[in-house]
Amino acid sequence: MSQAKTLTQAEIDQVLAYIATRRFALRNRVMLYTSFWSGMRVGEIASLKVGDVLNDDGTVKAEVRLTAEQTKGRQPRTVFLPQKLQTELQRYCDARRVTDLTQTLFLTAGAKAFSANVLAQHFFWLYRKAGIAGASSHSGRRSFITNLAAKGVGVRVLASLAGHRSIAVTQRYIDCNDTMTRNAVELL
């Protein structure tokens, strides 16, 4: 089984342009950004409750504390949200006007919680309909790790951000491309 494709910024923009033309554009945009900017797994995104991302006063938290039940490895972990993701989540939550912090954050068209499998399929079809071949629900997570590695973030920090216990697992996520190798030789 091949690894999920890491997306370039142009490909992400292509998916966002497609999303903008469809129903549930804001929800889909924020789910995509959550994948690319937090590195969360699709099952973790599907499991999010409003209270996981919102404070009692309605502002977005700077970090999400995932419980053991929400993570693949059954180990609780903290996911740090960059300011740009906090802004997107705030827009989304404000538009939804949700006051019940126990409600699921991202709902299907039928107002039900996404399962991990349904959300994985949802991402797959968003990518395919946007014309991105080889992308899957894991593309955001893999792109998150690869982009941070390209900016010089060390593998131990990447493993912590990804919730990996082994840096060997994290290293398999890092996609090497021409830009990264070109930048590396320019360090000489």
Averaged pLDDT of the chain: 91
What domains lie within the chain, and their CATH numbers? Answer: 9-140 (1.10.443.10)
The pLDDT tens digits for 109-138 are 999 999 999 999 999 999 999 999 999 999
Tell me what pLDDT residue 4 has. 86
Q: For the chain (length 188 residues), average pLDDT per consecutive 10?
A: 85 98 97 96 96 96 94 90 98 93 96 96 97 94 89 85 80 74 80
Cα torsion angle, 10, 12, 18, 21, sign: negative
- Angstrom CA distances, 83 to 35, 59, 60, 63, 80, stand at 15, 12, 10, 10, 10
Tell me what pLDDT residue 182 has. 80
pTM: 0.88
Tell me what pLDDT residue 1 has. 53
Tell me what pLDDT residue 56 has. 92
Per-position DSSP letters for 7-67, written without gaps between them? PPHHHHHHHHHHHHTSTTHHHHHHHHHHHHHH---HHHHHH-BHHHHB-TTSPBPSEEEE-
Tell me what pLDDT residue 133 has. 94
Q: Which single residue is written with the structure tokens 């910024």? A: 9
